[in-house]
């Protein structure tokens, strides 16, 4: 009995293997048929990038580069203008200081001249006898001596 059960099992396994082999063969044939149909059907060619789009992309990059270069040069130009204004302000300030010093020196010189003139006028006024009468005044001083 055991042997008979085993032989029935072997026949069943062989039968199942045949069915499996037939199923795999049918699957392989259907895949080949599908591939052949997909390969032989008509397709439209798709260009990766249209020529107009290439030019648009090139023009876009060129304009982008121009914008970046323009922004950088505008920043440098503004910096240069700011430095020029600062330099001009420093020069103007130095000129003002120089003019103030020159004005102070002129003022001091004018004061000194005024002081000298006042001192001369004071000495001229404080004399007892005017210069034109001085010889006569000397004669009088000589007469008073005994």
pLDDT of residue 1: 45
Which H or E run contains 33?
Answer: helix 2-40
In a domain, 131, yes or no: no
In a domain, 94, yes or no: yes
Backbone phi, psi, residue 44, to 5°: -100, 140
Q: What is the pLDDT of residues 29-53, one digit of tens each?
A: 999 999 998 888 887 767 665 667 7
Containing H/E element for 126? helix 51-126
pLDDT on residue 126: 73
Contact 22, 15 (CB under 8 A): no
Containing 131, the helix (H) or strand (E) segment is none
Question: What is the sign of the dihedral through the CA atoms of 29, 33, 39 and 40?
Answer: positive
The answer to whether position 68 is within a domain reads: no
What's the CA gap between 66 and 75, in Å, rounded? 14
Identify whether 57 is part of a domain.
no
Does a structural domain hold residue 42? Answer: no
In a domain, 93, yes or no: yes
CA distance 138 to 117: 28
Domain that holds residue 104: 87-126
Say if residues 120 and 113 touch (Cβ distance below 8 Å).
no
pLDDT at 13: 75
One pLDDT digit (tens) per residue for the chain, 146 residues: 455 555 666 667 778 888 888 999 999 999 999 999 888 888 776 766 566 778 888 889 999 999 999 999 999 999 999 999 999 999 999 999 999 999 999 999 999 999 999 988 887 777 665 667 777 777 777 666 55
Q: Note whether residue 74 is domain-resident.
A: no
CA distance 118 to 7: 156
pTM as predicted? 0.37
Number of domain units in the chain: 2
Tell me, yes or no, whether 78 lies in a domain: no
């Amino acid at each position: 009995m055991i042997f008979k059960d085993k032989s029935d099992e072997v026949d069943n396994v062989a039968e199942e293997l045949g069915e499996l082999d037939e199923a795999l063969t049918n699957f392989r044939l259907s895949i080949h048929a599908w591939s052949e149909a997909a390969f032989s059907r008509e397709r439209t060619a798709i260009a990766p990038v249209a020529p107009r789009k290439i030019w648009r992309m090139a023009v876009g990059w060129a304009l982008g580069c121009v914008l970046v270069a323009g922004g950088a040069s505008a920043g440098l130009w503004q910096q240069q203008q700011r430095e020029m204004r600062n330099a001009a302000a420093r020069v103007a300030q130095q000129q003002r200081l120089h003019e103030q010093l020159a004005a102070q020196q002129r003022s001091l010189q004018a004061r000194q001249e005024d002081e000298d003139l006042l001192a001369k006028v004071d000495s001229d006024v404080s004399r007892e006898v005017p210069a034109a009468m001085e010889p006569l005044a000397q004669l009088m001083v000589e007469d008073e001596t005994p």
